Amino acid sequence: MWMSSWSSFNQGRSIGTVSPEGGRILYDEEHEGGARITLKRGSGYISVSLNIYGWLDHTRFFNSDSEAQREYRTMRKAVNEMMDLINREGVSDLKIWEAISDFVRRFP
């Protein structure tokens, strides 16, 4: 049986709270390999932020909730592959940075 690598960040307690940047958190999940993805709505913006602990902090801004939600799901799937690489034993930092660069180009 396939199990998700994602779970609610902080047991879901962050949903509905206001982030330090001022956006209300709508979705907030953590990958067991060391990443967090968050969808926030602020005054005049909707954003998806991805933090890969120790490697990347990347935020994207959108014009609509539906676009942000779609991209949240798409980014989340792509992060699974990247986390597999980052947590693979013996992989070089160069390979990790290449994967991160590819991700940022795919999700500017």
Residue 12 counted as domain residue: yes
**Residues of the domain holding 41:** 6-106
Residue 54 counted as domain residue: yes
Please compute Rg for the chain using Cα positions: 14
- What's the total number of domains in the chain? 1
B/e letters for 91-102, b = 16+ CB within 10 Å, e = fewer, are eeeeebeebbee
Residue 98 counted as domain residue: yes
Residue 69 counted as domain residue: yes
Residue 1 counted as domain residue: no
- On whether the pTM is more than 0.75, the answer is yes
Q: Is 12 left (phi over 0), alpha (psi -120 to 50) or beta?
A: left
Closest residue by Cα to residue 71 from 103, 30, 32: 103
Residue 57 counted as domain residue: yes
pLDDT digits (tens, 9 = 90+) for 7-58: 999 999 999 999 988 999 999 999 999 999 999 999 999 999 999 999 999 9
Residue 47 counted as domain residue: yes
Residue 76 counted as domain residue: yes
